[in-house]
Amino acid sequence: MKILVMIKQVPDTATQVKVSSDPKAIDTAGITWIVSPYDEFAVEEALRIKEKRGQGEVVAVTLGPERAKEALRSCLAMGVDRAVHLNDPTWEQADTLLTARALAAVIKQEQAALALFGRQAIDDDMGAVGAAVAELLGWPCASWIMEESVDEAGKTIRVGRQVEGGLEIFDLPLPAAVSAQKGLNEPRYPTLKGIMGAKKKEIKDVKAADLGLPGFRGARPVRGQARSAPAAAAGTHHSRRPRGGGQGPREGPSRRRQSNLTLLGDDNDMAGAIWCVVEDDRQGNPKKVMAEVLGEASRLASPLTGQAEAVWLTDKATEAGIKQLGEWGAKRVLLVENAGLAPYRGEVWAPVLAELVQKESPQAVFGAVTTRQREVMARLAARLGAGLAADVVALAVEDGKLVATRPVYAGKLLSKMTWAKTPWLATLRPNVFKPAEAQSGAAAAVDKPAATVPAPAMSLVERREESSTGLPELAEAEIVVSGGRGLKGPENFVILESLAKVLGAAVGASRAAVDAGWRPHRFQIGQTGRTISPKLYLGFGISGAIQHLAGMRTSKVICAINKDPEAPIFKIADFGIVGDLFEVAPALEQEFKKLLEK
């Protein structure tokens, strides 16, 4: 079995990112480069599959400049057999789509049985390449996997896919693509023997022509820049984060390496509908995040001379759910109801959405940042040859065009970008955009367009539900109470759970707490965990490592509680309490009870 692992060289999380003279580029001088952490999980899993089977070949692939060979050497030192370096001036400004096309071509040329990706690269945080490659190859894809096993014959891979509320176990026929999530394994360290042996292993340079790909003709980087805002001292209020309503950040210098929305084709800013792909609870009801997505679509509809519409792919819709979408601002609901649409499978959903887009020509297609919508929007973008902005925290209309703002480089920078042509595809981060106020009596017109629902390649084995905590889901919670190493042990999380019940909050954890085994991985907030944007974030005993800040710095209000007055988290906190969390948490709980009773 030949396994290809796609990796990316990225700046180390702790590296300071500086602006270059070009507002669309970063200054690479002095940067420490590493293999993106999620990609290391993919490499490790590929090696384990080979070792378990006792045969096969693992090939690492990257697209990047000459220095990217250092990342490939790191993979070779871990035990990878050989490496392929896609290194051509034509790819210097490659966006997600162009990168996916190049990777798909090399996978096809290598005749791989399995393609492994990291969940997302930690520089642009798009998390779209794996699904896009799968779409271009016509392969099934499972994102965010937490477990896997290849059958003895090498014909099928069984994976556990992380979704909101649990794990979905699927069988995928090979060839297939999967993306690795933290918790899948623990990556090995290279041995001295491995490091020395890596120097002798092959790294093959591949050009666009070698893959039969055309040059980057007719393409151009669309406008893309970023800004970062200075951190303020604890207890002060500052505008370093978007604070709802899609207004986005307002301060800081422009910094950005390149746009991820470079497309082939001409500008296209004609009017049309703004579609919102419905995220539901699998019981026929739209989730509350749809109030935010529809609210933002409705806000943008007027300057774009369009209207907000909902597109609902489901096996069962309810009248109450359709009514709710209308009250949240959808002027029309395009309902495709078919048993084949559940459970979600990207190879089924993407063709259906693409068929509707091609028939109706919407101006934009929005989704929420959820596990399934991040994947299907990436597949849709690849199928349409369209641009995708993932994890957007602000949207605005400038000169008749949509402009998106999204975090990059572990949330240290905010990238501003636009599209070269319609449809504009974007996923919106929950709890960032102002939700629509339900308009009682408002009703949406309901259309049931004909659409071909293809047969699925993936088959569901089982769904493992997470044990309920009785608290809100972490990504959608308006208040989050989070604990770190300062809690001293798993038994002390009951202190935070008690406070959370009073506030109606979700409970999260730092990487240190999760790595210590105090909380399951699904509760981890940070670069290798969940990204959240609650109205209020309360951090207890969390130092504020950069990777944790990447997951919560867009919270509207941050309150940090730590005994150490020099803890880094105070630098981005709106309010800080220097004190013993074991005294502060119960005191806050009592005060909140008094306030809420009033």
Which is more confident, 279 or 528? 279
**Residue 244 neighbours by CB under 8 Å, 6+ apart:** 432, 433, 434, 556
Neighbours of 538 (CB within 10 A): 28
Mean pLDDT of the chain: 88
Q: How many helices (H) and strands (E) does the chain have?
A: 13, 32
Please indicate, yes or no, whether residues 18 and 144 belong to a single structural domain of this protein.
Answer: yes
Judged against a pLDDT cut of 50, whether residue 292 lies above it is answered with yes
> Cα–Cα distance between 69 and 67 in angstroms, integer?
5
Query: SS3 letters for 249-310?
Result: CCCCCECCCCCCCCEECCCCCCCCCEEEECCECCCCCECCHHHHHHHHHHHHHCCCCCCEEE
Boundary residue ending a domain (398, 431, 461): 461
Question: 266 lies in a domain?
Answer: yes
Question: 468 lies in a domain?
Answer: no
Q: If pLDDT is split at 50, 70 and 90, which confidence band does 225 have?
A: low
Between strands 401-408 and 413-418, the pairing is antiparallel
> Cα–Cα distance between 118 and 181 in angstroms, integer?
7
Please indicate, yes or no, whether residues 151 and 258 belong to a single structural domain of this protein.
Answer: no
**Residue 418 neighbours by CB under 8 Å, 6+ apart:** 222, 223, 224, 261, 398, 401, 402, 403, 404
Q: Give the pLDDT of residue 258.
A: 34
Please indicate, yes or no, whether residues 145 and 293 belong to a single structural domain of this protein.
Answer: no
Q: If pLDDT is split at 50, 70 and 90, which confidence band does 224 have?
A: low
Boundary residue ending a domain (168, 184, 211): 211
User: Mind listing the pLDDT tens digit for each residue in 536-590?
Assistant: 999 999 999 888 998 898 899 999 999 999 999 999 999 999 999 999 999 999 9
Q: Are 424 and 270 in contact (CB under 8 A)?
A: no
Question: 401 lies in a domain?
Answer: yes
> Cα–Cα distance between 248 and 243 in angstroms, integer?
7
- What is the number of structural domains in the chain? 3
Q: If pLDDT is split at 50, 70 and 90, which confidence band does 304 have?
A: confident
Identity (one letter) of the amino acid at 397?
Answer: V
| Domain harbouring 554, CATH code | 3.40.50.1220
Judged against a pLDDT cut of 80, whether residue 128 lies above it is answered with yes
| Domain harbouring 185, CATH code | 3.40.50.620
Question: 205 lies in a domain?
Answer: yes
Please indicate, yes or no, whether residues 272 and 327 belong to a single structural domain of this protein.
Answer: yes
Q: If pLDDT is split at 50, 70 and 90, which confidence band does 271 have?
A: low
Q: If pLDDT is split at 50, 70 and 90, which confidence band does 244 have?
A: very low
> Cα–Cα distance between 156 and 200 in angstroms, integer?
33
Question: 509 lies in a domain?
Answer: yes
> Cα–Cα distance between 581 and 214 in angstroms, integer?
59
- Angle at alpha carbon of residue 402, lines to 401 and 404, rounded to 5°: 145
> Cα–Cα distance between 39 and 409 in angstroms, integer?
16
User: Mind listing the pLDDT tens digit for each residue in 95-115?
Assistant: 899 999 999 999 999 999 999
Structure tokens belonging to residue 501: 């019940």
Question: 184 lies in a domain?
Answer: yes
Which is more confident, 356 or 234? 356
Please indicate, yes or no, whether residues 289 and 435 belong to a single structural domain of this protein.
Answer: yes
Q: Are 530 and 475 in contact (CB under 8 A)?
A: yes
Q: Cis omega before residue 286 (within 30°)?
A: no
Between strands 156-163 and 141-150, the pairing is antiparallel
Q: How many residues does the chain have?
A: 598
Please indicate, yes or no, whether residues 355 and 428 belong to a single structural domain of this protein.
Answer: yes
**Type and span of the H or E element at 536:** strand 536-540
**Type and span of the H or E element at 58:** strand 57-63
pTM score of the predicted model = 0.86
> Cα–Cα distance between 121 and 141 in angstroms, integer?
17
Boundary residue ending a domain (427, 461, 495): 461
Domain residues for the domain of 518 are 479-597
**Residue 66 neighbours by CB under 8 Å, 6+ apart:** 87
Please indicate, yes or no, whether residues 545 and 410 belong to a single structural domain of this protein.
Answer: no
DSSP 104-154: HHHHHHHT-SEEEEES--TTT----HHHHHHHHHT--EEEEEEEEEE-TTS
Please indicate, yes or no, whether residues 206 and 241 belong to a single structural domain of this protein.
Answer: no
Please indicate, yes or no, whether residues 487 and 431 belong to a single structural domain of this protein.
Answer: no
Please indicate, yes or no, whether residues 206 and 242 belong to a single structural domain of this protein.
Answer: no
Q: Give the pLDDT of residue 232.
A: 31
User: Which candidate, 172, 39, 64, 183, places its Cα nearest to that of 116?
Assistant: 39
Please indicate, yes or no, whether residues 48 and 19 belong to a single structural domain of this protein.
Answer: yes
Question: 307 lies in a domain?
Answer: yes
> Cα–Cα distance between 508 and 104 in angstroms, integer?
37
Please indicate, yes or no, whether residues 136 and 238 belong to a single structural domain of this protein.
Answer: no
Question: 392 lies in a domain?
Answer: yes
300-327 burial: b if 16+ Cβ within 10 Å, else e: bbeebebbbbbbbbbeebeeebbbbbbb
